[in-house]
Chain A
């Protein structure tokens, strides 16, 4: 059974999240007890991207979503195919710009909520009047 050990050049054009979890070093002549358990490295694509055709990565500018754990400069994984629900963090089109907000579907209407008291909520009369670009599924927060 062959195990690929060592660094691999990942092409700029290749998948966005090819991460190498270093396999255990194997001493020559002595079979590693871990060898039989190696089952391929963790593929972040497989875990973070459910559908490659509809998934995009965007970068956040601004601090209005701090309360949701989304900071300035973080990347969001966005799935365009998901149905936006009450509570979804969505990318909406506002004034010709892509904007990230928390979607609230209330009895009195649709609200785009910021997660920072410094920013006001935006009221929209109906969901149909709002263009939802996609639904954020993960935040890649810089720690």
Chain B
């Protein structure tokens, strides 16, 4: 099916995501994990949230509780790691910085995936996808797959194909796949694999005889709208190549919240960015509160426009908060750690903050008062200094002390070093 040149020049969307992100981040610094079954555990070492392909092959599912896996770990050669959000946050911001160099139109969708607006002939887009894949692997050390298509839903679908079909070599471009092959691929994929179709919807779609992606493509969008919602209709239209889901700039996921904006006019001063980061801190705080969450790790970043001809910079910092918080002041202050990396005079096109290591707020409201009062007296930084020198849990405030072992301290018995954010935990290289 050949389209007129003008059609092919329409902007397309590249969806880039890191393969088994947490496991890949662990492997980037510990090559002994390569080829072994590996799971990364959720907060408090509860259950498996990321599985290496080898762990998937053992039949381990996402959400399998660790206490059930642990007895068989030795027999399987299974390695488990506690979540290392400091490491994942830093690796994520490196990946996003790198992706930002390929397009000014970047939506950081989650800690490990992003949408990029791209333009070009099919061969150029395929080559771009391969360049991106190679650059992330080489610069940051984690593998990614790339899906490129006219809509977000199709880009996600292409990415899935790129991941699951070795013939694509990790990069799949919708327009470059012959129509017959697309049909057979869509016919072989269950409808629940489509972005936006949750498990619950699947059963209702099945009742209508819609089992595969191809069935959904062939469904009448209007009937779908009437039986389901306009949102599901949009998904159908997107699968048919009509863009309906715009690029967004804010998103809350299961374990992270990302808040980023491109500026209408570049921000060129430290003072300007201080203000921007303060606002983001407050907005992120409101978001956290709304979802009953607190964050432990904050990553702040800014980027100059890759399309402008002036000097470019992509500063970012990853800050481990002294305690889980949704306090706007604390979040804004943490975001300000980015400011020493900002240079007056550069034209920053966007900035953002990402909150990771999220956990439910619980019954900690009285503590907020204490937190703030201690903040003013500078006790927070002091505690942090002591903890850094003598280890976590070596010192704590009265209330925090009581909480130890319950809400505050995370069980993270199997956490790898925070290789890129803590000077005392750098990766070791052998000279022997």
Contact = CB atoms under 8 A, between A and B. Distances in A.
A68 B431 CA distance: 11
Contact of A59 (B98, B334, B427): B427
Given A12-B320, A13-B320, A65 B431 contact: yes
Interface in A1-56: 8-16, 18, 45, 51-54, 56
Residue among A10, A52, A94, A97 having the largest count of chain B Cβ atoms under 10 Å:
A52
Given A12-B320, A12-B384, A96-B34, A58 B429 contact: yes
A70 B432 CA distance: 12
Interface string B390-432: 0000000000000000000000000000011111001111111
Given A9-B381, A54-B139, A72 B430 contact: no
Residue among B316, B334, B337, B419 having the largest count of chain A Cβ atoms under 10 Å:
B337
Interface string B332-348: 00100110110000000
Contacts of B197: none
Contacts of A59: 426-429
A98 interface: yes
A98 B429 contact: yes
A54 B97 contact: no
Given A13-B421, A14-B317, A53-B94, A58 B430 contact: no
Interface string B121-143: 00000000000000000111100
A140 to B, nearest CB: 11
A72 B319 CA distance: 29
* Interface of A: prevailing SS: loop
Contacts of A119: 432
B314 to A, nearest CB: 6
A141 to B, nearest CB: 13
Nearest to A68: B431
A43 B421 CA distance: 18
A53 B139 contact: yes
Given A11-B317, A14-B317, A51-B139, A60 B429 contact: yes
B324 interface: no
Interface residues of B, number: 39
B375 to A, nearest CB: 13
Nearest to B36: A96
Contacts of B140: 53-54, 80
B388 interface: yes
B147 interface: no
B31 A93 contact: yes
A121 interface: no
B431 A64 contact: yes
Contacts, number: 116
Nearest to A61: B428
Contacts of A56: 419-420, 427
A72 B431 CA distance: 8
A98 B430 contact: yes
Residue among A53, A60, A64, A94 having the largest count of chain B Cβ atoms under 10 Å:
A53
A34 to B, nearest CB: 20
A113 to B, nearest CB: 12
A97 to B, nearest CB: 5
Contacts of B309: none
A95 B62 CA distance: 30
Contacts of B430: 61-62, 94, 97-100
Given A53-B314, A97-B31, A98-B31, A14 B429 contact: no
B221 to A, nearest CB: 41
B337 A11 contact: yes
Given A98-B430, A100-B430, A100-B431, A80 B340 contact: no
B429 A99 contact: yes
B138 A81 contact: yes
B180 interface: no
A99 B31 CA distance: 11
A137 to B, nearest CB: 14
A52 to B, nearest CB: 6
Contact of B431 (A16, A53, A54, A63): A63
B118 interface: no
Contacts of B423: 16
Contact of A61 (B316, B317, B429): B429
A76 B95 CA distance: 22
A57 interface: yes
Contacts of A52: 94, 97, 314-316
Nearest to B427: A58
Interface of B: 29, 31-32, 34, 94-95, 97-98, 138-141, 314-320, 334, 337-338, 340-341, 381, 384, 388, 419-423, 426-432
Interface of A: 8-16, 18, 45, 51-54, 56-65, 70, 72, 75-76, 80-81, 91, 93-94, 96-100, 114, 119, 131, 133
26 contacts: A9-B381, A11-B319, A12-B421, A13-B318, A13-B319, A14-B337, A14-B338, A53-B94, A53-B314, A56-B427, A58-B427, A58-B428, A59-B427, A61-B431, A62-B430, A63-B432, A64-B432, A70-B431, A75-B426, A91-B429, A93-B31, A94-B430, A96-B31, A98-B429, A98-B430, A131-B31
The 7 tightest CB contacts between A and B, nearest first, are A13-B319, A96-B32, A62-B431, A54-B139, A62-B432, A11-B337, A64-B431
